[in-house]
Every structure is written in structure tokens, then in C-alpha cells.
Amino acid sequence: MLGGSAKAREIIDYVVGIWPDADDLVGIEYPNRAKSIFIDRAEWGRSTAKMIGALEQPARGVYLITPLGRSLVDQDEITAQAEIERLNSEYRRLARQTSERTLNSTSESRWTVETDDVPNVAVADEQDESQAGTEWQLALLQRLHALPPAGFEEFVLYLLRSFGLELRRVGGSGDEGIDGIGTAPISPVLSSRVAVQVKRYNPDGKPVGREVVALFQRDAQTKGAERAILVTLGRFTEPARLAAISSTPTVDLIDGSRLAELVLSAETGIKLAPVVDTHWFDRFD
């Protein structure tokens, strides 16, 4: 339902929504503070999932399920609970060891340079504009195109959530061409209902035409969306761009180049590599 990623509040809302008698349980508070016991335990569960590696938090306030998390979800409840307890005990044991080493260490802090290679990650050179606009971007788009369709949808929804959107993943028969539905913030007190469609087209393939945009507009309007977002790895034709703003709801078009910019801005799966400009130091020679 959440599509592999969600904001902290969305996770809690989902737990409340599926838990039996949650409405009654939420109203029970601690005797010494105004805090729902049920909500507190749900938040503790989310925190534990992050500590043991079932969830990660690449962006502030947004959580992403890990392969470990997916494997736990696929297990039966008893097996999963036993594995969670084992992982939690291991995490706490390592945390105690780390704390003890820190307290017992008397060596001075030193600057270190990490040289470990990061596999399967596009590298963006901040000072090399030609590379930033070609090599890393192509590597990123090719990697995204290699994702399965469902995985690419999950990634895009996660990325949009990292920019403040609150989305629910939809799909399957009867989805009317909509992959995500939710709200986009306009101001601290206003939001707009938004529909999202994701197209995992080949970055070097045929551009997305006007017909695709017009059909998506009709589907988004059926869902009551006031705005819409169409994401693709490829490009849009000029008629498609004109169609996006010629009728309601207006469609924000995110092509491969724009998608790469958003991924870089969110620092999601991108390693920013510092580069020494040796010529800058010539002034001191």
C-alpha cells in the first residue's frame, strides 16, 4: 500500500488503519504524560526497524524499506518476530561495544579519508560540468531503466516524497493509469490533490507524445486531481509539453534530465565526489 517508502506520519497512520480496535487504543495515554501508548509503541517499532536495518532513512523524514525489511515482511509472523529479536539483540550488543571503545579510547582524533569503492552508484563531480551533465547522468538513467517497472514506480514515489509530497501508491486493474495519488504542499496551510504517473521508457527511445499526456490528464481528472505529475526516463515532444498546460489538471512533466537533477538534489543514490582544482593554487606559487 505504501509502495516501499513513506513519511514517518504515513507509517503510523497505516499501522493505525490496519490494527484491530486501533481507534480505541489510540485514546489510551500514559498516566504521567499526554502521549498515546499505542502511538508511542508504533513509533518505537519504526525506530527499531531502522536500527536493525529493515528501514533506512536516506532523506529527512522519509523511510525506505530495505531488502532485509522485505524479507521479514515475506516471512510468517512467528519467524519474523524471532529474527527481529535476534537482530535487535545483535544491534544492542554492537552498540555497547562501540560505546565502550569510545569511552576507553585515549588516542587523538585524526582526519581520515575513506577510500572504499561504492558499487552501482553514479558519481557526480561537482566541479566538472561536462561530466555532471553526461557521464553520471547517463549511468543513473541506465540504472533506473534496469529496474523492474514496479521498482521504478516505488523509487519515483520515494523521490517525490522526499520533496514533501504525501502519496499513496495505486495500481493494478482499475487504476485508470494512475500510479500514485495524494497531496502536494503549496504552503504551510495549503495543499493540492495530485496524481502521479510513471513511465519507465527507454531514455534513448521514442519521446513521449501528446496522446500520452492528454490521456493522463483525463485519468487524473477522474481521480479529482488538481495537479498531475508525469515522470519518464525519456523525453517529451513539444506538442506533449503544450498539452500539459493547455487543459486541467496541469501536468508537470519530469523527463530523464529533470529526474536526474532531482535525484542529485535529494542526494539519493548519488555520491558527490570532491575534486581538487590544482590550478586554483597557482596564485600562491
pLDDT by residue for the chain (285 residues), tens digit each? 677 888 888 888 888 888 888 878 888 888 887 788 988 888 889 989 999 999 988 777 788 899 999 999 999 999 999 999 999 888 888 877 776 665 565 444 443 333 344 344 444 444 434 444 467 888 899 999 999 999 999 999 999 999 999 999 986 554 568 999 999 998 888 999 999 999 999 888 888 999 999 999 999 999 999 999 999 998 899 989 999 999 899 999 999 989 998 998 888 888 777 888 888 787 677
Q: How many residues make up the chain in this entry? A: 285
95 φ, ψ (degrees, to nearest 5): -65, -40
Global pTM value: 0.64
- pLDDT value of residue 34: 78
Q: Is 167 helix (H, G, I), strand (E, B) or coil?
A: strand
- Confirm if 46 and 63 have CB atoms less than 8 A apart: yes
Cβ proximity of 219 and 176 under 8 Å: yes
Strand residue runs (E) in the chain = 5-7, 55-59, 62-65, 122-125, 166-169, 180-185, 191-199, 227-232, 250-254, 270-273
Q: What are phi and psi of 121, to 5 degrees?
A: -125, 130
CATH 3.40.1350.10 domain range(s) in the chain: 122-270
pLDDT for 188: 87
Please, are residues 240 and 209 in contact by the beta-carbon 8 Å criterion?
yes
Q: What is the CATH number of domain 122-270?
A: 3.40.1350.10
Which residue matches cell numbers 504542499?
185
Task: Concatenate the DSSP letters of all residues of 42-83 into one string.
Answer: HHHHHHHHHHTTSEEEEETTEEEE-HHHHHHHHS-HHHHHHH
Q: How many whole angstroms from its chain centre is CA 284?
A: 45
pLDDT of the residue at 131: 40
Euclidean distance between CA atoms 256 and 122, whole angstroms = 15
d(CA 207, CA 203): 9
- In the chain, % helix, strand, coil (3-state, to 5) comes to 50, 20, 35
Helix (H) / strand (E) containing 155 = helix 149-162
